[in-house]
Amino acid sequence: MTKLPSPETLAAVVSNVTESLCGFAFVPGEPFAASEPVRGRMFIVPFDGDRQISVLLSCDRAGSQALVAALSQVNPDTVSDEMAGNAIRELLNLIAGRLHRTLEFAAPTALRQATLVTIPDLERPDNAEAILLRSTGAIDARLWIIERAPEAGA
């Protein structure tokens, strides 16, 4: 059994970061719904420690451009793919840092830097709890928080 907070609590924690930086919030969504395909680029931050948690963020091209514009006050039409990827990666690192401070860990836990997932496998493992958060407003983003239960005997 995992110990993730409720989707509403996680949405509030994440929105605390995104509303102040980018002007959009997250709300709970249905985890791994067939109608919720991965859009655009997806980045992942795994937590290294006693809990097996990963945080994934995906955003479509238009949303990526809007994100860069919100963070940097630039025209969305001038945003390159590299700028968009960097913005998604940076936002995910900030979100993961806030979640890391919110979640309870029995031992020190390290955060890795966000990395691009080229072919994501989003099948929900049988031993995992997954929460999907969807953005509101002009930016179309999805945030998955996944915790795998410890292996038996671990």
Domains of the chain as residue ranges with CATH: 7-137 (3.40.1550.10)
Distance CA 130, CA 74 (A): 35
3-state secondary structure of 39: coil
Q: Over 60: is that where the pLDDT of 147 sits?
A: yes
For 19-34, what is each residue's pLDDT tens digit?
988 889 999 987 655 3
For 56-106, what is each residue's pLDDT tens digit?
998 888 888 888 888 888 888 898 988 888 888 889 999 998 998 888 776
The three-point CA angle 52-39-135 to 5° equals: 75
- Does residue 129 contact residue 4 with C-beta atoms inside 8 Å? yes
- Does residue 68 contact residue 54 with C-beta atoms inside 8 Å? no
Does pTM top 0.75 for this prediction?
Answer: yes
Confidence of residue 110 (pLDDT cuts 50, 70, 90): confident
